């Protein structure tokens, strides 16, 4: 099964004409395929688009990444969206179900099949009350939303994704945005938190390191991408995002949270990764940049 990390040389085509305020290397999307390249490399090697509309042309589940502090709804903003096709992260028969079909099992069922344990670092399981927010009406099917939620969850279940803190996914109009603070063990926590549509664990007593949020949009419009960006930006600032919908308090949500300092957590992750390396002289050292998206493993080989 393909994972969210690795390396692969991508063959891309440069668009011949472009706006004067956009660099040529910022529009490296394929001229032969409406879908981006597969998720087999670091985000820096993913297909690059200059607007979110290109994502809606692809009929496959995708992961994408962009700067959360460059407003998508500002026409003066230079937009760079990196995307990849999430083939291999979920079975093909699931993605081929018609849009009108309801999912055979919900996300909570999938959560119960996973035995969540703290694997990223030393963390303690706590049951927290989480705000669950519902807004608007759904236009994308429940099956499509379930598919992209499963893709995002599988990405976070990869042990190499311990440092992945922000992740976006898209499939047939369903968009998902996830933020997990550095003190949150995303590998153990996401099965529980992704069982809901929009939820956030935040507040005045929590910093960005201890904040967690999940947001989805099923209308498939450009405004949806902007809404997700604003929510994730709020969470990364350690703030609760203000939603206009109905809020319900959910209890007994399992959150795996670390009490380690940033320095202690960094040393723990570094030691854990070094212990997993094959002790050969030609084995490359893998460095992970904190805050990058899924698949952001940079391999440094001398």
More confident residue, 164 or 214: 214
Tokens of 286: 């893998």
| Contact by Cβ (8 Å): 239, 272 | no
The single-letter DSSP state of residue 204 is T
How far CA 122 is from CA of 69, 83, 172, 261, 273, in Å, comes to: 31, 32, 38, 11, 14
DSSP state of 26: G
Place of tokens 């940079």: 298
Q: What is the pLDDT of residue 159?
A: 66
Identify the burial level of 272 via C-beta atoms within 10 angstroms of its C-beta, where 0-12 means exposed, 13-18 middle and 19 or more buried: middle
CA 147 to chain centre: 13
Asked if residue 228 has pLDDT above 60, the reply is: yes
Q: On the CB side of 83, how many CA atoms lie within 13 Å of its CA?
A: 28
Structure letter (DSSP) for residue 105: S
DSSP three-state, residue 248:
strand
Which stretch of 29-43, 179-193, 279-293 has the lowest confidence by average pLDDT? 279-293
User: According to the model, what pLDDT value does residue 234 have?
Assistant: 92
Distance, CA of 235 to CA of 116 (rounded, Å): 23
At 119 the pLDDT is: 59
- Position 20 pLDDT exceeds 60: no
CA atoms in the 13 A half-sphere facing the CB of 69: 2
What is the rounded CA–CA span in Å between residue 33 and residue 54?
Answer: 11
**80-121 residue pLDDT tens:** 999 999 987 766 555 555 444 433 344 444 444 334 455 576
| pLDDT over 60 at 148, yes or no | yes
**Residues 6+ away with beta carbon under 8 Å from 46:** 36, 37, 39, 64, 65, 82, 83, 84
- Please compute Rg for the chain using Cα positions: 19
Ramachandran category for residue 291: left, alpha or beta (phi over 0 → left; psi -120 to 50 → alpha): left
β-pairing, 62-65 vs 166-171, is: antiparallel
The answer to whether the predicted template modeling score (pTM) of the entire model surpasses 0.85 is no
Contact at 8 Å (CB) between 97 and 143? yes
What is residue 91's predicted lDDT score, i.e. its pLDDT? 60
């Amino acid at each position: 099964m393909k994972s969210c990390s690795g390396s692969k040389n991508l063959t891309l085509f440069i668009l011949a004409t472009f706006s004067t305020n956009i660099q040529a290397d910022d529009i490296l999307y394929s001229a032969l395929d409406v879908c981006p390249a597969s998720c087999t490399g670091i985000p820096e090697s993913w297909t690059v688009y200059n607007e979110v509309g290109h994502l809606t042309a692809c009929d496959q589940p995708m992961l994408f990444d962009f700067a959360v502090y460059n407003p998508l709804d500002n026409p003066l903003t230079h937009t760079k969206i990196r995307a990849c096709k999430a083939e291999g992260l979920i079975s093909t028969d699931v993605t081929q179900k018609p849009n009108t079909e309801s999912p055979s099992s919900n996300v909570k069922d999938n959560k119960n099949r996973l035995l969540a344990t703290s694997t990223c670092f030393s963390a303690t399981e706590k049951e927290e009350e989480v705000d669950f927010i519902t807004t608007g009406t759904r236009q994308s099917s429940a099956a499509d939303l379930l598919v992209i939620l499963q893709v995002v969850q599988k990405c976070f279940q990869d042990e190499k994704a311990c440092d992945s803190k922000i992740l976006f996914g898209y499939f047939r109009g369903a968009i998902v945005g996830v933020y997990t603070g550095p003190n949150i063990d995303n590998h153990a926590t996401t099965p529980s938190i992704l069982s809901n549509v929009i939820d956030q664990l935040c507040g005045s007593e929590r910093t960005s390191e201890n904040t967690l949020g999940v947001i989805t949009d099923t209308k498939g419009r450009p405004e949806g991408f902007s809404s997700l960006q604003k929510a994730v930006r709020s969470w990364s600032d350690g703030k609760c995002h203000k939603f206009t919908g109905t809020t319900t308090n959910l209890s007994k949500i399992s959150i795996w949270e670390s009490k380690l300092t940033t320095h202690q957590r960094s040393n723990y992750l570094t030691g854990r990764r070094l212990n997993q390396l094959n002790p050969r002289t030609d084995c490359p050292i893998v460095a992970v940049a904190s805050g990058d998206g899924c698949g952001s493993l940079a391999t440094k080989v001398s």
